[in-house]
Amino acid sequence: MESPVTEKLCAIREKVADRIGANRYRTWFGGSTDFQLDGGNLAVTVPNEFVGNWISTNYMPHLIEATREVVGTEPRIAVHVSEERSRTRGTEPPSSVPPPASPHLHVGRPRQKEPSPTLRGELESFVVGPSNELAYSVVSAVVRAPGEAFKHLVLHGGCGLGKTHLLHGICNGVSRARPDLEWRYLSGEEFTNEFVYAVKSGRIDLFRGRFRNVDLLVIDDIHFLANKKATQEEFLHTFNAIDASGKAVVLSSDRHPRGIATLSEPLINRLIAAMVVEVNRPDFATRREILRRRAAAMLCELPEDILDFLAQRITRNVRELEGALYKLAAFASLTKEPLGLDLARRTVEDYVTAARPPEAAEIARMVAAHFGVTAEALRSNSRDRSVTQARSVAMFLIRKHTRLSFPEIGRLMGNKQHSTVIMAARRVQEALDRRGTLAWKTPSGLREVAAQDLLDELEQRLACGDND
């Protein structure tokens, strides 16, 4: 039975989460932030000064109100950095004060730098909104002090939300602010291909020298390493070598590291020890500002009503938003028609149609791939833990996102009884309601993820059309 203090702390956490929203709560008050209650005094222990400053600036009123409601008196709130984390990791500086350059970024004789690739993304052109403000702030801190502020960073989120833009911005920003530093930018696929070539050609030492002796390593789409055991092991050693030198690693992924089903547990543990930040879908105001800036860059004057129309109708990601704008401008130029709402409706019709609800078979395939099993296994009678967990989640999502009845879902999933579907969906819903976890087996061992995080990730992939 929980103590009265524990019950009060749980109540405070729940009230804060209700006030600021589940996503923001998980970002700022998740596993790395601790609460302690002593009478009417609440102590909030955070992993670093950046998080502490952000909580104090943005969420202190919510903390005060939630604590007041639970303890019944006017509370005192104190936010401080964990001493243990400060001793083991070094206290990270606040984002508003550029810290000094790392003294150990360049030790030994000067290196001959590789020519830097041309990257088009700039932080100055990135449109900041509630969905990406944390990611932007952390990335800006990395540019000011690579190897010091947020030495290891993982950006994750659905397709077309600006992760690559931010990674480009880091590299371009570091090039200008610290031209003496050496950085590498490449995709997860390129890292894999170069590693395979190095192994086959007997040039593995050259490969390791190229990637381990840099001040900043930036890899886009790290989830490409899933199912590639040898490449994962090599990257883990690369990560460890860079970390041991006090240098920086920045990565992006289409999902949280815990959600990459076939990533090895040692690598996952490495990644989740970094600053992990989610980039969400932009809200209406952000989408509208993105359109306005892109149109201005194209010297295209969009009427206000068309800006509103496009921002309201195209909501899934920035790439579709920009694609619709380019198509509209090109169509107007070719047909010589004025830019009006009628033309806009006809132009973006295929983008709106593409936002159709997912089909049951698509959901099943996507869930199966996420759990590292096959769609055929979901339809089988296998009682393997990974298969049964994936089957339950698939049934839950099919019921939620389609109009299929329980018997119809049962037939789709291998002629299962409708009662089986009901029980499966109920188990997933109960895990969500109690803020529990879902566990399944992977080649690297047992994987356990918060049910809400798992479902959020899967639904984001459905929204992006990433159903394969």
Q: What is the amino acid identity at position 24? A: R
% of the chain surpassing 70 pLDDT: 87
92 in a structural domain: no
Banded pLDDT at 186 (limits 50, 70, 90): very high
- Domain range holding 272? 123-278
Out of 213, 246, 278, pick the residue that ends a domain.
278
Alpha helices in 59-147 (DSSP H): 60-71, 83-89, 133-144
pLDDT at position 138 is: 92
pLDDT at position 291 is: 92
Backbone angles phi, psi at 38, to 5 degrees: -130, 95
User: 144-158 pLDDT, tens per residue?
Assistant: 888 777 789 999 988
Sign of the dihedral through C-alpha 109, 113, 119, 125:
positive
- Residue recorded with tokens 């006090």: 246
pLDDT at position 90 is: 38
Alpha carbon distance 44, 60 (integer Å): 11
Nearest-CA neighbor of 272 among 154, 435, 156?
A: 154
Say which residues have a Cβ less than 8 Å from residue 88's Cβ, sequence separation at least 6. none
105 in a structural domain: no
Alpha carbon distance 425, 398 (integer Å): 9
Backbone angles phi, psi at 369, to 5 degrees: -65, -40
Same domain, 266 and 173: yes
Banded pLDDT at 168 (limits 50, 70, 90): very high
Banded pLDDT at 32 (limits 50, 70, 90): low
- Residue recorded with tokens 């031209």: 179
For residue 189 the two structure tokens come to 């696929």
Looking at residues 343-348, what average pLDDT do you find? 82
CATH at residue 27: 3.30.300.180
Q: In sequence order, what E strands does 97-195 have?
A: 152-156, 183-187
Looking at residues 82-97, what average pLDDT do you find? 41
Looking at residues 107-123, what average pLDDT do you find? 62
Same domain, 37 and 152: no
Overall domain count for the chain: 4
Three-point CA angle 306, 311, 314, nearest 5°: 115
69 in a structural domain: yes
Out of 234, 250, 278, pick the residue that ends a domain.
278
Higher per-residue pLDDT: 466 or 343: 343
| Buried/exposed 122-159: b ≥16 CB within 10 Å, e otherwise | ebeebbbbebbebbbbbbbbbbbbbbbbbbbbbbbbbb
118 in a structural domain: no
Instruction: Tell me: pLDDT of 354 over 60.
Output: no
Q: In sequence order, what E strands does 324-404 have?
A: none
Pairing of strands 152-156, 76-81: unpaired
Instruction: Tell me: pLDDT of 398 over 90.
Output: yes
Same domain, 381 and 317: no
Instruction: Tell me: pLDDT of 379 over 70.
Output: yes
Instruction: Tell me: pLDDT of 109 over 50.
Output: no
Q: What is the amino acid identity at position 218? A: V
pTM of this structure: 0.62
Out of 37, 68, 85, pick the residue that ends a domain.
85
Residue 298 has a CB neighbour count (10 Å cut-off) of: 13
Looking at residues 432-453, what average pLDDT do you find? 84
Banded pLDDT at 110 (limits 50, 70, 90): very low
pLDDT at position 241 is: 93
Banded pLDDT at 99 (limits 50, 70, 90): very low
101 in a structural domain: no
Same domain, 376 and 430: yes
Half-sphere exposure of 4 (CA within 13 A, CB side): 4
Same domain, 163 and 234: yes
111 in a structural domain: no
Nearest-CA neighbor of 50 among 9, 20, 89, 76?
A: 89
106 in a structural domain: no
Same domain, 273 and 128: yes
Same domain, 256 and 133: yes
Could you say which DSSP state residue 192 is in? H
User: 271-281 pLDDT, tens per residue?
Assistant: 988 899 999 88
Looking at residues 165-188, what average pLDDT do you find? 92
Same domain, 196 and 258: yes
pLDDT at position 92 is: 37
User: 201-258 pLDDT, tens per residue?
Assistant: 999 999 999 999 899 999 999 988 888 889 999 999 999 999 888 899 999 998 888 7
Looking at residues 402-430, what average pLDDT do you find? 90
Mean pLDDT of the chain: 83
